[in-house]
């Protein structure tokens, strides 16, 4: 009788290589690996595929997901100015639902009973993988080896790998950090960073230059948007994945895009995280500036509130959920007229918006100007204030600080 099958989210690193062996030996399963390219720095995906095949997996599918990630996920993140707790642009939270979707597709292709991932039991990513899998196919079962096995730390895993003929990547014990990266940026945690009082060391950063070592003259860049989607940088039309790569370079070279923060994980603990998100922060900064002139004021205020709900839903693994779908529909509606160009100035770790224009701009020079020929009727403001403060005046008379009630 043939064995049951499991589809594993495989990165080719130590954790997921040990997962392959563990699923084969401890669970007696045939393993199919899925290795998604979402634009991570890590290269050598072919070598990783060979490594998986050497471990005896049924198949190892290396999928180039960069455009799907950009077009289906990052476009929505930009529309929602994605920023969890107003500070974290959600890079890991955005890639997990796409990887989970691929796991489910490959599970169907191979008739697998299980999907598996290498996430730990105290992070958010386990929730994101599993919630997405449940939403896409509630019948599929999930195995999380790292939650089950007794390998407490990296040296334990290295020892397991040696004992079971799993090749250990060169320097597997050297990197002091836990890294997750993709087109949208790079997350750095653990090691020296676990004490929130410790300043990040230089070796934490790879996408961004130390602002002290950046050019002494500013760099200007123009980003063009059409209906909320970035379409060109400095006049050059590019697809979104290329725009992000280009902006990661321009902003990173100017030292922009480093974050050092403490965030609230879904599982209830606070964690210190450093992020490098040069392209993501640049695009969100520019996109917000364009919305400022293209989105009507009441709508903009409502959108800013709902952006937090969108980010929380995505952070918490609700990418495929009715709430997130409805919020996406709202966000999409707000983007219809977000077309135009934003001019940015990078200098020594900063990125400032220095210009914005749009064919649909609601900024009316005639209304805004303090010149004599303004079209704004200042006399009308007296009546406006009279009516607008009616409720406040009524309150002031009856309950306000100088009212008889307050004096009593």
Residues near ligand ARG (CB under 6 A) are 92-93, 124, 178-180, 187, 189, 273
Tell me how far apart the alpha carbons of residues 221 and 229 are, in angstroms, rounded to a whole number. 17
Closer Cβ to ligand ARG, 124 or 221, answer by number: 124
Whether 180 sits among the annotated catalytic residues: the reply is no
Spatial distance between the Cα atoms of 195 and 24, rounded to a whole number of angstroms: 37
Min dist. Cβ of residue 187 to ligand ARG (A): 4
Residue 216's φ and ψ, nearest 5 degrees, are: -90, 0
Backbone angles phi, psi at 195, to 5 degrees: -95, 110
Phi/psi region, residue 249 (left: phi>0; alpha: psi -120 to 50; beta: rest), is alpha
CB of 180 to ligand ARG, least distance (A): 4
| Comparison of 89 and 252: residue with beta carbon closer to ligand ARG | 89
User: Closest distance between ligand ARG and the C-beta of residue 119, in Å?
Assistant: 9
How far apart, in whole angstroms, are the C-alpha atoms of residue 208 and residue 275?
10
Cα distance from N-terminal residue to C-terminal residue, the chain = 89
Q: Which residue has the tokens 């950090």?
A: 177
Phi first, then psi, for residue 59 (nearest 5°) are -160, 155
Strands (E), 65-113: none
CB of 41 to ligand ARG, least distance (A): 13
Catalytic residue among 17, 66, 82, 125: 125
Residue (of 257, 253, 259) closest to 216 by Cα position = 253
Closest CA to 117 of 102, 139, 98, 100: 100
Catalytic residue among 178, 265, 328, 343: 178
Q: How far is the CB of 15 from ligand ARG (least distance, A)?
A: 10
Q: How far is the CB of 31 from ligand ARG (least distance, A)?
A: 22
Q: Which of 354, 357, 356, 374 is nearest to 365 (CA)?
A: 374
What is the SS3 assignment for 304?
helix
Least Å distance between CB 213 and ligand ARG? 25
Identify any residues that bridge with 62 across adjacent strands, giving them in sequence order: 35
Pairing of strands 5-9, 114-116: parallel
Between 187 and 280, name the residue whose CB sits nearer to ligand ARG.
187
| CB nearer ligand ARG, residue 320 or residue 360 | 320
Query: Which one of the listed residues 11, 17, 95, 96 is annotated catalytic?
Result: 96
Residue 8 vs 32, nearer CB to ligand ARG: 8
Give catalytic status of residue 264 as yes or no.
no
Strand, coil or helix: 150? coil
The Cα 231–Cα 237 span in angstroms is 6
Tell me whether residue 32 or residue 93 sits nearer to ligand ARG (CB atom): 93
Closer by beta carbon to ligand ARG, 84 or else 346: 84
Q: Identify the CA nearest to 76 among candidates 300, 282, 319.
A: 319
Residue 265 or 343 with smaller CB distance to ligand ARG? 265
Distance between CA 321 and CA 147 in Å, rounded? 25
3-state secondary structure of 370: coil
Cβ atoms of residues 52 and 62 within 8 Å: no
Our answer to whether residue 125 is catalytic in this structure is yes
Q: For this structure, is 358 an active site residue? A: no
Choice among 15, 17, 258, 271 that is catalytic: 15
CA distances from 298 to 72, 76, 304, 310 (A): 28, 21, 10, 18
CB of 120 vs ligand ARG, minimal distance in Å: 9
What residues act catalytically?
15, 96, 125, 178
């Amino acid at each position: 009788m043939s064995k049951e099958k499991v589809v594993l989210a495989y990165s080719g690193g130590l954790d997921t290589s040990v997962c392959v062996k563990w699923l084969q030996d401890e669970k007696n399963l045939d393993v199919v690996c899925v290795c998604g390219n979402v634009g991570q720095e890590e290269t050598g995906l072919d070598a990783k595929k060979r490594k998986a095949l050497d471990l005896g997996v049924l198949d190892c599918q290396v999928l180039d997901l960069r455009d799907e990630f950009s077009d289906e996920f990052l476009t929505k993140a930009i529309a929602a100015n994605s920023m969890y707790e107003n500070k974290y642009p959600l890079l890991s939270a955005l890639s997990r639902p796409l990887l989970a979707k691929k796991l489910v597709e490959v599970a169907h292709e191979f008739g697998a009973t299980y999907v598996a991932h290498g996430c730990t039991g105290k992070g958010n990513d386990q929730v994101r993988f599993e919630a997405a899998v449940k939403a896409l196919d509630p019948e599929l079962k999930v195995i999380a080896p790292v939650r089950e096995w007794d390998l407490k730390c990296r040296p334990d895993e290295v020892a397991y790998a040696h004992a079971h003929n799993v090749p250990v990547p060169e320097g597997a014990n050297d990197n002091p950090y836990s890294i997750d990266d993709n087109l949208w940026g790079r997350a750095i945690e653990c090691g020296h960073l676990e004490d929130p009082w410790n300043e990040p060391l230089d070796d934490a950063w790879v996408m961004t230059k130390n602002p002290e070592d950046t050019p002494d003259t500013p760099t200007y860049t123009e980003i063009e948007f059409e209906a909320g989607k970035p379409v060109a940088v400095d006049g050059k039309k590019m697809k979104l994945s290329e725009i992000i790569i280009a902006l990661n370079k321009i902003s990173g070279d100017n030292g922009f895009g480093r974050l050092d923060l403490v965030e609230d994980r879904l599982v209830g603990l606070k964690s210190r995280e450093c992020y490098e998100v040069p392209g993501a922060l640049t695009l969100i900064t520019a996109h917000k500036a364009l919305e400022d002139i293209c989105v009507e004021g009441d709508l903009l205020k409502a959108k800013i509130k709902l952006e937090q709900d969108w980010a929380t839903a995505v952070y918490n693994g609700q990418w495929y959920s009715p709430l997130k779908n409805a919020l996406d529909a709202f966000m999409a509606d707000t983007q219809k007229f977000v077309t135009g160009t934003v001019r940015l100035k990078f200098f020594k770790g900063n990125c400032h918006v220095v210009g914005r224009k749009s064919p649909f701009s609601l900024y009316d020079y005639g209304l805004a100007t303090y010149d004599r020929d303004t079209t704004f009727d200042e006399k009308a403001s007296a009546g406006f204030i009279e009516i607008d403060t009616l409720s406040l005046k009524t309150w002031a008379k009856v309950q306000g600080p100088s009212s008889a009630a307050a004096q009593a």
